[in-house]
Amino acid sequence: MYLLFWISIFFILYPYIGYPVLLALRAYLMQQPVQKEDIWPRVSILVAAYNEEKVILERLKNIIKQDYPVKKMEVIVISDGSTDGTNNIVLDFIKRHAKIDIFLDYDSVRNGKSAALKRGVQSSRGEVVVFTDANSSFRSMALKKLVRSFADSRVGSVAGKVGIICKDEFKTSEGEGLYWRLEDLIRRKESMIHSVMGADGSIYAIRKELFIPPEEGVGYSDDFIIAMQVIPQGYRLVYEPEAAAGEESSRDFSSEFKRKIRSTSGGLHGYLKLFKKGMFNPFSSPIWWQLISHRVMRFAVPWAMILLFLSNIFLQSSFYKFILVAQISFYIFALLGLLLPENIIKKRIFYIPCYLTLMQFIFIPSLYRFVRGKTETKWEKIGRE
């Protein structure tokens, strides 16, 4: 039981503490700086939309306010079978901004996000394609900062930084804030040694000639696999924290849970594709350690948490009894955070244990969906504030 206890401790702590520490050390000793310059390539900004009438107008207003030459920018809204007022809102916006290249690509048949993005890239005219979501919002300098890393010929894709918008402000809710701060630290260090392990759909860019469309009907996490596929082609996927975007925080635990399960399950399809391309091979892949440590080992955490608790029950010394009491207390607060009214659970003592526990256990249903072959190619909007 002692061995099982400490092995479980390792699998819980390594992805979130051990890996960041070793990564920081490696980045200090073996960093590969990215050459950044203020450049102005022609960019195509793609917004895939399905029934986004509530947010699409503000999204377009935000994009055209970018500190970037208008003549070097085009905006393409790919409406994937929208049945609400999305198309009319976009067409009206185009009429009122005739001097800006804004286009609506509409298909009455809903084919899914992968198909929509493929169609958008095919019709784009930019050297660099920028992907973003309809419910996201760019900071004013985001586009300018995002493309400057393309001055380095080794860079094939750039991932921006995403924050959480609560009540129209760029700030984070407690649980999501902890997650994003850790991810920000890890991504900065990964980018210093080679590449980050994925991008967020709110803001990332790719050289158009490196775009490989995700296979339709598979259920990929599109932003992850599109950005990551530049690495097998010999390029880097780097992180640009000054290219900031915000997305609305989840309305409740249930919404966040569903969203994470969907994206994590889609990520597994992406890992399988990267495995087939040799990205997990320690003898040839520049990112095998990062992929395993940052992505794959997190799937072991919920199982390790269960084994830690069970093994702890049978260990009798005062030290192990203290750890057991600490575990029980943590899970009680997590359970209360799930059951108590919203105005109470927003207190840190309940919200953080609940959020952290749920975000670990999403890996179990995500893995189950993947093993069953359940795919979701037509995205549904998950509740946001």
Using the Cα atoms of residue 118, residue 124, residue 127 and residue 131 in order, give the sign of their dihedral: negative
* pTM metric for this prediction: 0.88
Q: State the pLDDT at residue 218.
A: 63
* Residue 350: per-residue pLDDT: 76
Gap between the Cα atoms of 354 and 346, Å rounded: 10
pLDDT tens for 303-335 read: 999 999 999 999 989 999 999 999 999 999 888
Confidence (pLDDT) at 339? 79
> What crossing angle do the helices spanning 301-313 and 318-339 adopt, rounded to 10°?
130
Tell me phi and psi for residue 241, to 5 degrees. -65, -20
Contact 253, 172 (CB under 8 A): no
Which parts of the chain register pLDDT below 50? Answer: 167-172, 383-385
Integer Cα distance of 108 and 88 in angstroms = 14
Structure tokens at 161: 């930084």
The pLDDT value given to residue 172: 42
pLDDT of the residue at 295: 93
pLDDT of res. 378: 58
Cα separation of 262 and 116, whole Å? 18
pLDDT, position 383: 47
Give the pLDDT score at 342. Answer: 62
Q: What 3-state class would DSSP assign to 265?
A: helix
What are the backbone angles phi and psi of residue 159, rounded to the nearest 5°?
-100, 130
For residue 220, count CB atoms less than 10 angstroms from its CB and return exposed for 0-12, middle for 13-18, buried for 19 or more.
Answer: buried
Task: Please tell me the CATH code under which domain 43-251 is placed.
Answer: 3.90.550.10
Would you state the pLDDT for residue 270? 87
Quick one: tokens of 353? 């244990």
State residue 134's pLDDT score: 93
Spatial separation of the C-alpha atoms in residues 7 and 14, rounded to whole Å: 10
Q: Can you give the residue ranges of every domain in the chain?
A: 43-251
